[in-house]
Structure 1
Amino acid sequence: VFMLVAGGIVAGIFLIFIEIAYKRHKDARRKQMQLAFAAVNVWRKNLQV
């Protein structure tokens, strides 16, 4: 029983680290997309002038 509990705790911690890394990656990608959209909007505005 102890081995199952210990295994579950270790697996849970491992999954938490994976979720944290995924969220950081997703946030960085979202920030990059926001910057890209802002740059495209500036570019489009300059073309219309």
Structure 2
Amino acid sequence: MLRKLGVDRFLAWNTAKSAHGVWRLSGSPALTKALPNRYFRNLGLPELAAR
């Protein structure tokens, strides 16, 4: 799925094989590239952080 969302092969592989949990990986370079804030805005989700 990371590859489909534009993450390069090496970074996607390193993220997928990581032993860290999902909460720790949520701020990883792969996920911030694959799921930027605009992705969630387009889903209609409210922002939790103040601008």
| TM-score normalised by length of structure 1 | 0.25
Q: Which has the higher helix share?
A: 1
Structure with the greater alpha carbon radius of gyration: 1
Q: Which has the higher contact order (CA 8 A, sep 6+)?
A: 2
